[in-house]
Amino acid sequence: MKPLHFIYALTLLGQSGFRGYRLLLALYALHLGSSTFTVGILLAVFSLMQAAAGWQVGRWTDRAGCHRPMLAGSLVAAAGFCIPFIWQTVAALFAAAVVVGLAYCMYHVAQMNVVGLMSKQQERAKNLADLSLMFSVTNFAGPLLAGFSVDHAGHAAACLWFAAVSVASAVALVIGKRLLPAAGGDTHGAGGSIRELLKDRTLLRILLVGSLVFAAIDVFQFYMPVYAHGLGLSASVVGVIMSCFPAAAFISRICLKSFLKRSSANAVLRRSFLLATAAFVTIPFFESAPALGVLAFVYGFGLCVGQPITLILAYENTASGRTGEVVGIRETVNQITRVVAPVLFGAIGSVAGFMPVFFVGGGLLAWGALMLRSGKLTPGGK
C-alpha cells in the first residue's frame, strides 16, 4: 500500500469515530435531561481542548512526524470514549469531552500535516483535496454510527462502539508504521513564536476566513440535532439528516477543482456562503425529515468547499519546517469558534427559541459573503 493511501485509510477508520462523537455527546446529554444550553457548553468543552493544544501539537508533529501523535491520539480517545459507559452522568460526558477533544487534536493535526509533507509541490493541492474528501466520508459515516448505535445499543453502550474504532485505528498505526515518515520533514525553520507567523497578513486572512467557515458549519452541526430532536424525530432519523450534510460536502469537494478553474477562491467561497445562507434561514419553516434532509444537503454543498480551500492556501503560504505549527494554529483558531458558537447559539435557543438561531446564523453567513467580496483571501486578490 502506498503511504498516502494508508493515511487515507486511517482517515476513514480513525476519523469516523471522532466525527460522530459530537452527535453522540449531544444525544446522550439530551437523553440525561440536559438543556440545550448545557449541550452547548459540553460541545464547547470538546472544542476547547483542541483550541488549547493546537499550536503545541503542531510543533510536536514538526519535530516527531505523525506516527506518535496519531497513535497517542487513538489510545487516549479509546480511554475517553469509555468514560460515559462506566459513569452514566452528565459529569462523565464533560470528562469524556476533555479527553477525546485532546486526542482528536493530536490525531487530526498530525494527519493533515503529514499529507502536505509527503506530497510534491505540484501534487500538494490535489492530495490535500483528496484528504478533504476522506473527511467528508467520515462526516457521513460518523453521524450514522452515532445514530444507529444509540438506537440499537443505547447511549452508554454506543460509547464502546466508538472506543472499538479508536482501538482499531491504533492497531493499524502499529502495523503500518513503516509506511509513515519517521520525522516531520525539514525542521530548519522550526521554532519562534505565533506572533512571527501571524505577521503574514495573507495567512492571517486565510485563518480568519477559515474560522468563519468552521463557525457556520458548527452552528448547523450543533443546532440541527437539537431542532430535529425537538420535533420528536428518532436518533436514527437525526443521524440520516445529519449525514446528508457531509454527503453534499463530498460531492462539492469532488467538484472543487472544476470550481477553482472557473473562478477565484474568493468567488467560490462567496457564492458558497450565499447558497448556505439561503438554506440555513429556510430550515425553521420545515418540520418533515425529508425536507430537513434536503436543506442539510444544500447547506453542505454550499459551505463545505471552504475548509479544503483554506487548508491548501494556509499550507502553501507557510515556510518550510513550520507547517505543523500553522496547521495547529489553524486548528486552534477554528476550534475557538467551536467554543463560542455552541454556547452563544445554545443560549439564544434557550431564551428565544429556534427561529432566532437560524436567522442569526444566516446573518453570520451573509456577513461572510460580504467580507469575501473584497477579494483579499490570496495575494493579488486571486
Tell me the C-alpha distance between 337 and 211, whole Å.
Answer: 6
| Enclosing H/E stretch for 286 | none
Tell me the C-alpha distance between 285 and 215, whole Å.
Answer: 22
φ, ψ for residue 184 (rounded to 5)? -75, 0
Q: What is the pLDDT of residues 34-55, one digit of tens each?
A: 787 788 788 778 878 878 878 7
pLDDT of residue 298: 92
Domain ranges of the chain: 3-176+191-381
Q: What is the pLDDT of residues 155-184, one digit of tens each?
A: 888 888 888 888 988 898 888 888 777 654
Instruction: Name the H helices within the chain.
Output: 3-31, 36-64, 67-86, 90-117, 124-153, 155-175, 194-197, 201-230, 235-254, 256-262, 265-282, 289-303, 306-316, 323-352, 354-372
| Enclosing H/E stretch for 99 | helix 90-117
pLDDT band at 380 (very low <50, low <70, confident <90, very high): very low
Whether the CA torsion 342, 343, 349, 355 is positive or negative: it is negative
* Domain 3-176+191-381, CATH class in plain words: mainly alpha
Q: What is the pLDDT of residues 305-341, one digit of tens each?
A: 877 777 777 777 666 667 777 777 787 887 787 677 7
Q: Provide the percentage of residues in the chain whose pLDDT is more than 90.
A: 5
End-to-end Cα spacing for the chain: 37
Q: What is the pLDDT of residues 1-29, one digit of tens each?
A: 677 888 888 888 888 888 888 888 888 88
Distances (CA, A) of 361 to 35, 219, 344: 20, 7, 11
For residues 161 and 141, the answer to whether their CB atoms sit within 8 Å is no
Q: Provide the percentage of residues in the chain whose pLDDT is more than 70.
A: 88
Tell me the C-alpha distance between 108 and 101, whole Å.
Answer: 10
Helix axes 289-303, 235-254, angle to 10 degrees: 30
